[in-house]
């Protein structure tokens, strides 16, 4: 009676009971990092004093910071290349593609576990593996051979029935799930897909669905490993990696959702949240200024071939700018060989490199008040680089049809053949560098690489002022924005902290310096979105000591703990209303104990109760002033 998630977790469980809500520890087989989170992860890994990585396979990708306006990004690439060579990590060079796409093509294996310092790591769930996003420090620990700690999630069964109609794609399935569950509906859950509808979905299509499970806040999403998986692996020259995996026929799930694919219409997620989903026909006719196709959600060979088939022989609307970024070098070469790249260029597409590009605000910001249709996964406020722009998330077919029409419309009435999986994928691993693992390798640190900031152990009491009060669903893009101006400072916490909260409260940084840090007060689902630990490290650097929120997104809560910032939860959500900016709040940290509520006093003359929900291990991390301190303390004890 086991679900597939339970089977894979049971095979990797090192400690704890696989019962929803209980703390468990699992063995991690594979890790991935990308350049925007990787530099910190490897600095932390180096600080752990290991001779080499202890995983079956660890890959370091360069895909985010590839606009090289100055020395910073190139410095990071050089550090990443040399540190990978030294410690046994495969290095995927810039140009080889977006981490999740390349990982799917070349490394994902059914039945394995993967931990990645990027929130879309669950993309690999398409291959029947448990793939989880985490902060860089957790990934560094996994590379050092430590197990990954998590709370056993609930398992939700999403049953797909019937075939998708023409012009409706995998993206529409996940947008439908988002409309049903919302951006916080997946917190503490694994989504396991079953049903006859999945037989029609190829591994790349499944990866679109798993990818955007991150937008639900889910721990991960998962498909069985079946004949479609065998086909994909065989065509990638990796038939030997295939094993069949599925849930038991009588598996018991905590929740069941059924989606009738045949009844689905093309959908669009409206600004500024991936769950503000409407049917395309409801917004049909909306004038479009930009169309951006690509990202780890929709940049597979078949996705882009579908776009090429819709655009073939046509010219995009004169008032639309169409940009395309490719998932990988494999995708780009295959499109080039079959002539589809020419169809895209002929139609007027502006061809970008195989990286994240506009998805993370690295160029191609839309015009003021512009409407940008994107096949990406996030449309958070400001992420595109233009605060006044509205970003709408759609499928590649809808994006292509709209690029021609100049207004939002679906591809349902366009006559084109949906691409099948190719007979074979083009295998070319020349941009993956095998590490030497030689201790004599010189690790090169340009001036952009600054050390991980130090943090003192938890103080006996926290008595400080409220530095910011924010509402519900605050994303890590609000806390620590990305984009071409800020992303290059990911290896320099002092510098990047200047931009903390800059898009919604430009005074935040200076206020923290003026008052010596303090508290953050927040609403529901605090820290949703990315895995960037910079959204915890920058506040930590600015001496934020604790956050009180109504609830948290999983990865951000863990990153706060790893950074030594106490994540507290209002026992009565109404208390949120009573607290104002600059109130002085006091907490006796000596009272932090497992399962015990805490009392906070507000100098205005009232007190209220908060919970911390921390496990014994998490409390140990907080007391040490963060996970790295705890590891160093333990190492010192063993050496002594
Ligand atoms: C994102 O899509 O927000 C990112 C950039 O890939 C992040 C990681 C980061 O901030 O570096 C993610 O999703 O975790
Ligand atoms: Fe890159 Fe965008 Fe995917 Fe993040 S969501 S990994 S920025 S393509």
Ligand 1 pocket, mutate which of 292, 493, 530 (most atoms under 8 A from CB): 530
**Ligand 2 atom closest to Cα of 294?**
8
Using pLDDT thresholds of 50, 70 and 90, give the confidence band for residue 2.
very high
pLDDT (tens digit per residue) in 189-215: 999 999 999 999 999 999 999 999 999
Residue 240 to residues 229, 237, 243, 423, 631: CA-CA distances in angstroms? 12, 8, 8, 18, 38
pLDDT for res 637: 82
**What spacing in Å lies between the alpha carbon of 211 and ligand 2's midpoint?**
10
Using pLDDT thresholds of 50, 70 and 90, give the confidence band for residue 592.
very high
Q: What angle do CA 629, 468, 464 make, to 5 degrees?
A: 60
Contact 506, 198 (CB under 8 A): no
**Ligand 1 atom closest to Cα of 214?**
13
Catalytic residues: 63-64, 118, 378, 530, 532
**What spacing in Å lies between the alpha carbon of 311 and ligand 1's midpoint?**
30
pLDDT for res 366: 98
Q: How far apart are CA 423 and CA 504, in angstroms?
A: 50
pLDDT for res 638: 80
Evaluate if pTM is beyond 0.85.
yes
**What spacing in Å lies between the alpha carbon of 36 and ligand 1's midpoint?**
8
**Ligand 1 atom closest to Cα of 535?**
10
Q: Which helix (H) or strand (E) holds 311?
A: helix 301-311
Which ligand has the nearest atom to the CA of 358? 2
Residue 561 has pLDDT above 80, yes or no: yes
Q: What is the rounded average pLDDT of the residues 472-488?
A: 97
Q: Is the CB of 308 under 6 A from ligand 1?
A: no
Which ligand has the nearest atom to the CA of 37? 1
> Strand, helix or coil at 428?
coil
* Ligand 2 pocket residues where CB is under 6 Å: 64, 98, 118, 120, 295-296, 356, 359-360, 377
Q: What is the rounded average pLDDT of the residues 628-635?
A: 92
pLDDT (tens digit per residue) in 86-136: 999 999 999 999 999 999 999 999 999 999 999 999 999 999 999 999 999
**What spacing in Å lies between the alpha carbon of 356 and ligand 1's midpoint?**
10
Which ligand has the nearest atom to the CA of 208? 2
Q: Whose CA is nearest to atom 1 of ligand 1?
A: 530
Q: Is the CB of 164 under 6 A from ligand 1?
A: no
Residue 509 has pLDDT above 80, yes or no: yes
Can you read off the two tokens belonging to residue 327?
């998932």
For residue 438, is the peptide bond before it cis, meaning its omega torsion is within 30 degrees of 0? no
Residue 229 has pLDDT above 90, yes or no: yes
**What spacing in Å lies between the alpha carbon of 357 and ligand 2's midpoint?**
8
pLDDT (tens digit per residue) in 282-311: 999 999 999 999 999 999 999 999 999 999
Residue 441 has pLDDT above 80, yes or no: yes
pLDDT for res 640: 72
């Amino acid at each position: 009676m086991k679900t597939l998630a339970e089977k894979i977790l049971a095979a990797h469980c090192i400690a704890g009971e696989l019962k929803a809500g209980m703390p468990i520890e699992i063995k991690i087989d594979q890790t991935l990092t990308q350049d925007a989170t990787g530099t910190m992860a490897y600095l932390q890994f180096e600080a752990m004093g290991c001779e080499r990585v202890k995983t079956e396979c660890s890959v370091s990708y360069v895909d985010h910071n590839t606009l090289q306006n100055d020395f910073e990004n190139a410095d990071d690439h050089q550090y990443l290349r040399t540190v990978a060579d030294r410690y046994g990590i495969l290095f995927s060079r810039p140009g080889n593609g977006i981490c999740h796409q390349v990982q799917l093509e070349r490394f994902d294996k059914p039945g394995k576990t993967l931990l990645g310092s990027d929130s879309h790591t669950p993309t690999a769930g398409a291959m029947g593996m448990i793939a989880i996003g985490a902060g860089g420090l957790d990934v560094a620990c996994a590379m050092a051979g430590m197990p990954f700690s998590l709370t056993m999630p609930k398992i939700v069964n999403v049953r797909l029935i019937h075939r998708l109609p023409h012009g409706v794609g995998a993206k529409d399935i996940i947008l439908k799930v988002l409309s049903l569950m919302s951006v916080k509906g997946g917190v503490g859950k694994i989504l396991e897909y079953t049903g006859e509808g999945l037989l029609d979905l190829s591994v790349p299509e499944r990866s679109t669905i798993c990818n955007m499970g991150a937008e639900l806040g889910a721990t991960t999403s998962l498909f069985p490993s079946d004949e479609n998986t065998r086909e994909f692996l065989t065509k990638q020259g990796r038939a030997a990696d295939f094993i069949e995996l599925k849930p038991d026929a009588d598996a018991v799930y905590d929740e069941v959702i059924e989606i009738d694919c045949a009844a689905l219409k093309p959908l669009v997620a409206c600004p500024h949240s991936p769950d503000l989903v409407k049917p395309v026909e409801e917004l049909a006719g909306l004038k479009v200024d930009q169309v951006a196709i690509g990202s780890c959600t929709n940049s597979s060979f078949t996705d882009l071939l579908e776009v090429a088939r819709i655009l073939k022989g046509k010219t995009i609307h004169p008032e639309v700018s169409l940009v395309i970024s490719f998932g990988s070098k494999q995708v780009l070469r295959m499109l080039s060989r079959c002539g589809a790249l020419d169809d895209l260029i002929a139609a007027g597409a502006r061809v970008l490199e195989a990286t994240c590009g506009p998805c993370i605000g690295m160029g191609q910001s839309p015009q003021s008040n512009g409407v940008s249709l994107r096949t990406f996964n996030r449309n958070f406020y400001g992420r595109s680089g233009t605060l006044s722009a509205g970003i709408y998330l759609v499928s590649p077919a809808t994006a292509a049809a709209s690029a021609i029409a100049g207004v939002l419309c679906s591809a349902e009435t366009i006559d084109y053949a949906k691409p099948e999986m190719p007979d074979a994928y083009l295998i070319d691993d020349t941009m993956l560098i095998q590490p030497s693992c030689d201790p004599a390798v010189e690790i090169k640190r340009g001036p952009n690489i600054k050390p991980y900031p130090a943090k003192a152990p938890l103080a006996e009491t926290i008595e400080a002022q409220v530095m910011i009060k924010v509402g519900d669903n605050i994303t890590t893009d609000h806390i620590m924005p990305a984009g071409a101006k800020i992303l290059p400072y990911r290896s320099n916490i002092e510098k990047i902290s200047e931009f903390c909260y800059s898009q919604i409260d430009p005074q935040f940084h200076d206020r923290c310096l003026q008052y010596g840090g303090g508290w953050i007060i927040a609403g529901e689902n605090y820290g949703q979105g990315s895995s960037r630990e910079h959204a915890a490290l920058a506040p930590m650097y600015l001496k934020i000591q604790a956050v009180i929120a109504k609830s948290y997104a999983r990865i951000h809560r863990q990153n706060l703990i790893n950074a030594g910032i106490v994540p507290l939860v209002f026992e009565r959500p109404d208390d949120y209303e009573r607290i104002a900016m600059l109130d002085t709040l006091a907490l006796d940290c000596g009272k932090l104990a497992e399962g015990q509520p805490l009392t906070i006093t507000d100098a205005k003359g009232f007190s209220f109760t908060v919970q911390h929900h921390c496990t014994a291990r998490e409390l140990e991390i907080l007391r040490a002033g963060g996970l790295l301190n705890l590891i160093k303390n333990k190492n010192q004890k063993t050496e002594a």
